[in-house]
Structure 1
Amino acid sequence: MKTYIKIFLPLICIAIITQSCSRKKDTFINRNFHALGTKYNVLYNGNLALDRGIETVNDAYSENFWELLPVERMSIEDDIFLPGQTKNADFERAEEKAIKAVQVHGMNIEGKEKNPQIDEAYLLLGKARYYDQRFVPALAAFNNILNKYPTSDKINQVKIWREKADMRLDNNEIAIKKLKRLLEEEQLEDQDLADATATLSQAYINTKSKDSAMAQLEIAAENTKIKRERARYLFIKGQLYNEFGKKDSANMEFDKIIEMHRQVPRAFYINAHLEKSKNFDELNGDIVAFQEYLMELEENRENRPFLDKIYHRIAEFHRGNMSDSLAEAYYNKSLRKTTTDQYLKALNYETLGNMYFDKNSYKTAGAYYDSTMAAMEPKTKEFRILKRKRENLDDVIYYEGIAEVNDSILKMVSLPEEDQIAFYAEYIEILKVKAEEEEKLKKEQSQRQSNSGNIQIADNKINNRLGSNKNPGGIPGSIGGNKSSFYFYNPTTVAYGKNEFLKLWGDRQLQDNWRLSDQRKRISNTEQSEVVASEDKDNTLSPDFYIAQLPTEQKEIDSIAKERNYAYYQLGVIYKEKFKELGLAKSRYETLLKNEPEERLILPSKYNLFRIYEELGLNRKAEAMKKDIVENYPDSRYAEILLNPQLELAKDENSPEAIYTNLYNKFNEQKYAEVIAEADENIRKFEGDDFVPKFEILKASARGRLFGFEAYKEAINFIALTYANTEEGKKAQEIMDNAIPSLAKKDFIADDASKNFNVIYQFNKDSGEDIDNFIKVLNEEVAKVKYFDLTTSRDVYDENTTFVVVHGLKSISGARGFAELLKTEEKDKRGRPIPPKITKPFFPISSPNYAIIQRHKNLETYLEQQ
C-alpha cells in the first residue's frame, strides 16, 4: 500500500499542478496559482526594477532652486528613440516583466480577466513607460486598465497617472478637468489625495493659474506621507508666495521646511534658509542678528557641500550694504568652491564683472564677462545679451585706453621742464624702492635655501653616525634600511650644491679641462654683457630717459590730441546709446568740450549733452545747451530738431537716415557715380555721426560696381581700419578676411563647367544709341521664346559702358544660336523679307565668367581669349 502511495501521490500532485497552470479554466486553484505567481514572482521583480530605475532618475536629476521647482522630480529630455529603444535598462526590464505577467498569467475567459493581478501588471507597464518618457504608450496602458478593469482597487491611482501622462503631452486643460472630477466624485485619502492634488497643482502652474495651484499644494503637503515630497510642496508654495510679493507667507512655508531639519534632503533645508534670508527687511530688521544668522550657516560643518550658495548669499548681503570689498571677497570664495551649479558660477562672474564695470575697470570687467559666458548655455537669450555687452566693452576698453594714455602724454608735454624732471624723479624713486624690495626678497629666499641645505647636510652626517652604530654590517649610511644619506640621493643637498657651483664657476659645458682660462674668459664676457644690461637699466633710472621719449613736434602733439578727442566722443556715444550710463556719457562729453576738439565733434557732442541733461533732470543746463546750439548753429539739423520737437528725425528729409535711404535707392537703380559723389558729401556733412560708416559701406559697394575689385578692396580696407570699433568696421574686417580672397580670383572657367549662360549687348556712353528702345524691342523678341525662361536686365559695366543682358540660356552654343536667330531675316505672308529688329553685335558668356568681368572689369581679356 505504501508503495502505491509513493507512486501515485507525486503523479496526482503533478496532475493538479498541470491542471492549475491552465489559463482557460476558471477555478479557484487556477486563479490563485496565477495570481500568486504574478504577484510574488513577475511583478515583484518588475517593481524592483522600476524602483531601481526611479532611483537612477532621481540621482541624475539636479534641482534648480533658482527657478520654480517642478512638482515631480524628473527632467524631460528631447532625445528621440526608435521603437524598441529605451533610455534606462531598468525601465525596460520592468516593462518586460509587466508584459510577461499579462502574456503568461493573464486569464481572459469569456471577455473577463480572472487574474486579479493583471491590472497591477498594466499599472507597472504604464509607470515604466512614463518614467522612460514614452508618454503615449504609457497613456495607452493606463487607458487599458480604465476600460477593462473599472472595478480595480487601483483605479484612482490609474486615473492620477493617466492625467500625469496627459500633462506631459501638454494636455493640461484635460488633466485639470478630469482631476477635478475625480476629487469631486471620489473620497480620496492620504497618499492618493496628495498625488491627485499635487498633479492638479502642476497642471495649474503649467496653465499660469498659480493662485489656484496654491490651495492644491497645501492639501498635497498635508496628506503626503513622504517627507521629501512634503518639503518639495512647501518649497514651491514659498516660491509662489515670493512671486506674489507675500514675503511673510513665504517665510512661514520655508520655516516649516527648516523645522523638519534632518527629515528632508539637506538641499531643501539649506535653500529654505537662503530663500528666507532673501526676504530679510534690511531697512527695518536687526542687521547684527541677521549677520550672525548668515555666519552660523557658513560655520556649520554640515553645510559644507552648500558653501558656494551660502557664500554667494553673504556676498549679496554685503553688496546691498555697500561693502563692496567684502562682497567681492565672498563672491570669489563662492567661485573657489567646487560646484556643478553653472548658473551660480555665471551669476558670480557676471556680478563681479558689473562691479568692476561700475568702477570703470573695463578690462577686468571684460575678463569676468568672458568667464560668465563660458559658464552659460550659448543658445539662451541671457547669453546673447551678455555677448553684445561684452563686444561693446571691447570698444570701451579700446577708447578708454587711448584716452588715458594720450591724456597722460599731453599732460606731461604741457608741463615745464623742471616739473617734468621732478615728476620722473619721483617716479624713479618709486622704481628704486620696488627694486630694493625685490632684491631683498631674493636674498632672503636664497638665504633660506642655503640654511636649509646646511641643516640637511648636518642632519645627514648625524644620520650616518647613527646608522653606522645602529645598523652594523648593514647598508652604509642607512637608518633602519629606509633612508639613505648618500649625497646624490638627497634632492635638497643636490640643489644646494648646484647653486654653489654656479656661483663659483658659472654655467660650464660638459667637456675636458673645463677649468681652463678660455672658459673663464667666457664668464667674463657674460659678466661684461651683464654690465651692459646694468648700464641700460641705469638709463631707465634717469629722468632724461623718459623726457626724451615725449613728443616735441606740434604736428605729432596735435595728432595725439585729435585721437584723444575722438576717443572721448566715441566713449560718450557708447555709454549713452549702448550702456545707458548717462552719468559716464555726460562726463566724457563735458571733458571733450573742455579739450577744444575739432569742429566736427563739437555740435553732436553738445546735442547729446542736451539730451542727457534732459533725461537727468538738469533743466538749467539743458536750456543753456539748447540756447547755445540754436544761436551758434542756426542752420544745422540739430537746431531744426530743437526748434521743432514734434518733428520725427527719421522722417526728416535732412536726417542722415532719410538721406541714406534715398542714396540706397539710387544704388539699386545703378546710379553708382551719383552715389559715390553724394556719399562723399554726406560723409563730410555728418562727420562724427554714427551714420558715417554706413555711408562709407554704401560708397565702397558703389565703387566696386563702377571701378572693380581693387577699388572695392581698397575702400573696404579703409573702413576696416578707420571705423574698426563700429559694426560696419567689424563687418568690413570680416569681408577682408573671408570674402576678399575668393573675390580676388579672376581666372575664367571653362564653358562646359557652367549651366547658365547670357547674351551681352554692349553700349557705349557716347554712341548716341537709344538703349531704352533697344530693351523694349528685345523684350518683345524674348517674349516669343516659349521653350526657355528668359529675362533681360540693364547692367552698368563702368562709367562709359552699359550692358543689356539676356539671362536664362543653358549652353554657350544655345546662347550664340539664340542671338543669331534674332539677326535672321523673316518673311511676311506674301514671302517678302522682313529686316531683323536686332542687328547689334553681341557676345555669349557663362554666368560665372560674366560675374568675373563685372567684378574685375577685364572684358577685353575675356574677348581676347574667345
Structure 2
Amino acid sequence: MGTKYNVLYNGNIALERGKDGVNNEFTENFWQMLPVERMNVSEDIFLPGQTKNADFDRAEEKAIKAIQVHGMNIDGKEKNPQIDEAYLLLGQARYFDQRFVPAMAAFNNILNKYPTSDKINQVKIWREKTNMRLDNNQGAIDKLKRLLREEEIEGQDLADAAAALAQAYINTKSKDSAIAQLAIAAENTTVKREKARYHFIKGQLYNEFGKKDSANIEFDAIIDMHRQIPRSFYINAHIEKSNNFDVLNGDQIEFEEYLTDLEENRENRPFLDKIYYRIAEYHRSNASDSLSEVYYNKSLRKTTSDKYLRSLSYETLGNMYFDRNIYKTAGAYYDSTMTAMVANTKPYRIIKRKRENLDDVIYYEGIAQTNDSILRMVKLPESEQLAIYTKYTDELRIKAIEDQKQQEEALKKQQSQTTPATQSLQNSQGNLKSKLTPPGMSRQIQTGNSANGASSFYFYNATTVAYGKNEFLKLWGDRKLQDNWRHSSQRADIVNTTKDDDLVASLVEDERFNPETYLASLPTNQSEIDSIATERNYAYYQLGIIYKEKFKEFQLSKNRFENLLENDPEDRLILPSKYNLYRIYIELGLNQKAEAMKNAIVLNYPDSRYAEILLNPQSELSKDENSPEAIYTKLYRQFENEAYAAVIAEAEVQIKRLEGDDFVPKFEILKASAKGRLYGFEAYKEGINYIALTYANTEEGKKAQEILKDAIPVLAKKEFVSDDDVDKFNVIFQFENNSGEDIETFITTLNEEVAKIKYFDLTTSKDLYDDNTTFVVVHGLKSIGGAKGFGELLKTGEKDKRGRLLKPKITRPYFAISSPNYAIIQRHKNLNAYLELQ
C-alpha cells in the first residue's frame, strides 16, 4: 500500500508533469507529416548523472526507491505486486528523458521477471516504441503484429499498439499499411487530442497518395470535433481541406465564402497568418496577383513563430516581383526569406544563390533603364525636353506644397491636443488661473505633465515653438521688440500673403523645381552619348546571358538580346548575341527564326568559332582542340612550364577571338598571372584591376575584387626582411637568356654536386626572372652563412686520392638570398636593389 499510494503515486505525478512539459515544448509542424507520438527527440549529449528534465529524474528516483526499498523478493519470487508498476514507471521516465537503452533494460526486466503482470501488454508496446527510437523498426513491426495477433487487446492499449505499429510502418516507408493501423488507433483511443492526430496523419497520407476525397473525410472528422481538440488541429484541418479544393470544377463563390468565414471567425484570430496565406494562394491560382499580394502581406503582419510560413510568403512575393521585372523589390523579399530560413540548408542555399544572381540583374537593369531614359531624352527636340521637365517639376512642386501643408496641419493638431489628465486639471483650476494669469500671457501655457510623462509646457516643445514663430511672422511680420508693437503704425512690414503663397515662394528657389536644372544635366557631347549607349548595350548583353544561363528565363533573355541588336552595338557583342539568340529560338520552338539566325551567322561570320559549332555541332560536344576549354587547358600547361611570354600572346589572341564568351575572363586571369610572373607586381595589379572593373559581375571579376582587397596590399610590400629572422635560404646562379649558354647542362652538373651533400636536404629549380634572365636555384640551406659557404664549396672543387685539388666543376658567380627576399625580388623585379644592399 505504501508503494502504491506514496512512492509510485508521487513518481507518476512527476512523470505526468514531465510529459506535460514535453508536450508544451513540442511545436506541431503541420507543413510536414506529423509524428504519431508528440515528442521532439533531441541530439544533445548528456553525461552520466545528467538529465534533460528534472521531473523525469524525480520519477526515476521514485521508481528506483520502490524497487530497492519496497521490493519483497522471497525465495526468488516478488511478493509486492506493485514492483512491476515501478519498473514500468522507470522505463517510461527513461524513455521520455530520451535514454532509450536504459529504458529498454527496464521494460525487458518486467518481461523476464513478471510475465504474468497485468501490465504486460503495455510493457510490450513500450518496448517496441523504444525499439523504434533505436532504429529497430522491422523488429518492432514483427513483435507488434504478433502481439495484436496472439493477445486479446482492446481499448486504449489497442489504440497505443496500433499507433506504434503505424509509426513503424511510416518509418519503413510502408505508408499504405500505416493507414489501416491509424484507423484502428483513432477508433479505440479515448484521448481526443490523439484521435485528432491520427485522423490528421491519415489525411496527410491520403493526400500523398492523391486520394483527396478520402483525405477530406479525415479532415472533416477533425472539424466535427470542434472545441474538443486543440484549435491548431481544427484550423489546419480546414486549411488542408481547402488545399484539396478543385479550382477548375468547384463552386468558387461557395469556396470564397468558406474562406471568408474562416477569416472572420473571432476564435481563429491566432491562426490568421495561415488563413491569410491560404486566401492569398487561392487568389494567386486565379491570377488575381494584386489581391494575393495584399493577403500575403496581411499574413506576414500576423505571422509570429511560424518561420516556415513567413519564408513561404516572402519567397512568393519575391517571385511575383521578379516575374514583373521589379528586381530590386524582389531582392529585398529574398533577403527577408533567408532571415526566416535555417542557414546552410538546401532551400536556404537555393534562395541565396538566386539572390546573388539577382544582384547582377539589379545592377545591369538599373544601368539599362537609366541609360535608355537618358538616350531617349537626348534624341528629343529641346522644346519637348523642356515640356517634359516642366510637367515633372510642376508635379513635384505641387506634391511638396501638399506635404508641407500636411506637416503644418499635423503640428497645429499636436499643439491643440491636450491629454484628459491635463484637461481635467485645467478645468478644476480654471477660476484660479483666470485670476492669476496676467493679461496678454499666452493661453497655450499648460499645467502638469502629458500622458506620456513629458512636460506639455508650450516653450518646452521645440516643434510647437517653431510653429508659433512661423505663425507670428505670417500674421504680424518681422516686428521689433518694443512697446506698443501691435499699433497700426508698426504694420508696415506685415506680410500680406496667404499660406499657399508663402509655401510657393519658399519652394521657388529650390533647384528641384526648376526644369533648367534637368536640361543642363543632359549630355551634349557626342562622345558622352556614345559612352552611355555602349554601357547600355553591354548591360543588355549581360542581362541576356544572366536570364538565359542562370534563370532559364528564355523570353526575357530573347527580349534583351533583340533590343541589343536593334541599338547598333559594338562588333564584339553582335556575334555572341546572335549565337545566343539562335540557342534561345531553339528552346522556345521558334524554328524559322533559329534557322534564319543560323544562316546569318554562317554567311556573315564563316571563320568564327560559332559558325564552326553550327556547321559541326559534334565538335562542341567532343570539346575539340578549338574549343575554349581545350585551348585554356593547353595554355595553362604552358603557364606551369613558365612559358609566360607565349601565354600572354596566345591569351590576347583568344580574348579577341572569343569576345563576349563566358571564357574570356578566365583567359584574362591567366594573362594577368603570366604578366605578374614576367614583369612583376605592378603588371599583375594592373591586370587584376582591369578584370575587377571590366568583368565585375562574373565569378572571375568577383575573385579579382577579393584579390585587390585582401592580397594586393600584402603583395605590395617590397622591403627586404632581415636574414636573422629567417631559416630558409637559397643560392642563385644567374643566366642571360640570349647568351647561348647551356642551362640544362649546368643544371645536370649542379644536381650531381648537390647529391654529394648529405647533411642538407637540397633541391634545385630553374626559375624565369624576366625576359632576359633565368635563375638556377639551390633550395634548402638554413642560414645566410651556410648558403655562402655552400657556394664557395662548389667553386673550390674536390681532392683526388692523393690529396691533389681537382679543377672545380662549377665556377659560376652566385649570390645567396633568403626565401622571403627571393619571393620579393621575383614579385617586384628589384634584384639590383637587393644586390646593392649586399
TM-score (norm 1): 0.86
Question: How far did residue 535 of structure 1 move?
Answer: 5.3
Amino acid at match of 2:586: E
Output the CA distance in 2 between the equivalents of 1:134 and 1:116: 26
Question: How far did residue 466 of structure 1 move?
Answer: 6.1
Contact 2:193/2:229 (8 A) holds in 1 = yes
Task: Map residues 272-351 of structure 1 onto 2, 5 A cutoff.
Answer: 272-351=237-316
Output the CA distance in 2 between the equivalents of 1:832 and 1:614: 85
1:700-741 Cα offsets, whole Å, 9 max, x none, are 222222222222222212211221111111111111112222
Amino acid at match of 1:356: Y
1:723 is aligned to 695
1:672 is aligned to 644
Amino acid at match of 1:410: L
Output the CA distance in 1 between the equivalents of 2:42 and 2:563: 55
Amino acid at match of 2:346: K
Question: How far did residue 101 of structure 1 move?
Answer: 2.4
1:851 is aligned to 823
1:165-203 Cα offsets, whole Å, 9 max, x none, are 232232333333333343334333332332233222222
1:617 is aligned to 589
Query: Within the alignment, does 1:571 sit opposite 2:570 as a pair?
Result: no
2:517 is aligned to 545
1:500 is aligned to 468
Task: Map residues 291-690 of structure 1 onto 2, 5 A cutoff.
Answer: 291-442=256-407, 444-445=409-410, 448=413, 464-465=429-430, 486=446, 491=456, 499-504=467-472, 534=507, 536-537=509-510, 540-649=512-621, 651-690=623-662
1:636-658 Cα offsets, whole Å, 9 max, x none, are 11111111233335603222222
Larger mean Cα displacement after TM superposition, 95-104 or 556-565: 95-104
Q: CA RMSD in A?
A: 3.3
TM-score (norm 2): 0.89
Contact 1:759/1:844 (8 A) holds in 2 = yes
Evaluate the alpha carbon distance shift between residue 133 and residue 416 of structure 1 in structure 2; reply closer, same or farther with a 3 A threshold.
same
1:24 is aligned to none
1:107-155 Cα offsets, whole Å, 9 max, x none, are 3455544433333323222222222222233233333333443443333
SS at match of 1:340: coil
Question: How far did residue 476 of structure 1 move?
Answer: 8.6
Larger mean Cα displacement after TM superposition, 43-52 or 358-367: 43-52
Contact 2:540/2:564 (8 A) holds in 1 = yes
1:712 is aligned to 684
Output the CA distance in 1 between the equivalents of 2:654 and 2:636: 13
Larger mean Cα displacement after TM superposition, 187-196 or 781-790: 781-790
1:745 is aligned to 717
Amino acid at match of 2:509: D
Output the CA distance in 2 between the equivalents of 1:752 and 1:82: 52
SS at match of 2:746: helix
Output the CA distance in 1 between the equivalents of 2:801 and 2:78: 93
1:211 is aligned to 176
Query: Within the alignment, does 1:694 sit opposite 2:659 as a pair?
Result: no
Contact 1:343/1:376 (8 A) holds in 2 = yes
Amino acid at match of 1:58: N
1:32 is aligned to none
Output the CA distance in 2 between the equivalents of 1:101 and 1:493: 77
SS at match of 1:688: coil
2:489 is aligned to none
Evaluate the alpha carbon distance shift between residue 38 and residue 849 of structure 1 in structure 2; reply closer, same or farther with a 3 A threshold.
farther
Contact 2:36/2:197 (8 A) holds in 1 = yes
Evaluate the alpha carbon distance shift between residue 271 and residue 239 of structure 1 in structure 2; reply closer, same or farther with a 3 A threshold.
same
2:773 is aligned to 801
Evaluate the alpha carbon distance shift between residue 686 and residue 458 of structure 1 in structure 2; reply closer, same or farther with a 3 A threshold.
same
Contact 1:457/1:493 (8 A) holds in 2 = no
Question: How far did residue 753 of structure 1 move?
Answer: 3.7
Output the CA distance in 2 between the equivalents of 1:204 and 1:843: 78
2:136 is aligned to 171
Evaluate the alpha carbon distance shift between residue 256 and residue 540 of structure 1 in structure 2; reply closer, same or farther with a 3 A threshold.
closer
Output the CA distance in 1 between the equivalents of 2:174 and 2:806: 82
Gaps of 5+ in 2: 438-443, 451-455, 475-479, 486-493, 496-501
Evaluate the alpha carbon distance shift between residue 37 and residue 744 of structure 1 in structure 2; reply closer, same or farther with a 3 A threshold.
farther
Question: How far did residue 608 of structure 1 move?
Answer: 0.9
Query: Within the alignment, does 1:229 sit opposite 2:214 as a pair?
Result: no
Output the CA distance in 1 between the equivalents of 2:401 and 2:197: 62
Question: How far did residue 237 of structure 1 move?
Answer: 1.6
Contact 1:464/1:485 (8 A) holds in 2 = no
Matching residue within 85, 89, 99 for 1:134: 99
Question: How far did residue 460 of structure 1 move?
Answer: 8.3
Larger mean Cα displacement after TM superposition, 365-374 or 722-731: 722-731
2:226 is aligned to 261
Output the CA distance in 2 between the equivalents of 1:171 and 1:801: 72
Contact 2:737/2:774 (8 A) holds in 1 = yes
Amino acid at match of 1:99: I
Amino acid at match of 1:536: E
Larger mean Cα displacement after TM superposition, 782-791 or 576-585: 782-791
Question: How far did residue 572 of structure 1 move?
Answer: 0.6
Output the CA distance in 2 between the equivalents of 1:173 and 1:780: 70
Larger mean Cα displacement after TM superposition, 391-400 or 228-237: 228-237
Amino acid at match of 1:56: G
SS at match of 1:766: coil
Larger mean Cα displacement after TM superposition, 371-380 or 795-804: 795-804
Amino acid at match of 1:230: K
Evaluate the alpha carbon distance shift between residue 135 and residue 767 of structure 1 in structure 2; reply closer, same or farther with a 3 A threshold.
farther
1:250 is aligned to 215
Question: How far did residue 431 of structure 1 move?
Answer: 2.5
Output the CA distance in 1 between the equivalents of 2:159 and 2:203: 18
Contact 2:680/2:827 (8 A) holds in 1 = yes
1:300-350 Cα offsets, whole Å, 9 max, x none, are 111111100000000000111111111111111111114100011111111
Amino acid at match of 1:412: M
Matching residue within 165, 187, 212 for 1:200: 165
Evaluate the alpha carbon distance shift between residue 156 and residue 476 of structure 1 in structure 2; reply closer, same or farther with a 3 A threshold.
farther
Query: Within the alignment, does 1:79 sit opposite 2:44 as a pair?
Result: yes
Question: How far did residue 57 of structure 1 move?
Answer: 1.3
Output the CA distance in 2 between the equivalents of 1:188 and 1:750: 88
Output the CA distance in 2 between the equivalents of 1:541 and 1:854: 60
Identity %: 70
Question: How far did residue 454 of structure 1 move?
Answer: 14
Gaps of 5+ in 1: 1-35, 470-474, 478-483, 507-511, 518-522
2:491 is aligned to none
SS at match of 2:593: helix
Amino acid at match of 2:220: D
Question: How far did residue 581 of structure 1 move?
Answer: 0.8
1:608-653 Cα offsets, whole Å, 9 max, x none, are 1111111111111111111111111111111111112333356032
Question: How far did residue 599 of structure 1 move?
Answer: 0.9
SS at match of 1:761: strand
Evaluate the alpha carbon distance shift between residue 341 and residue 787 of structure 1 in structure 2; reply closer, same or farther with a 3 A threshold.
farther
Output the CA distance in 2 between the equivalents of 1:227 and 1:489: 56
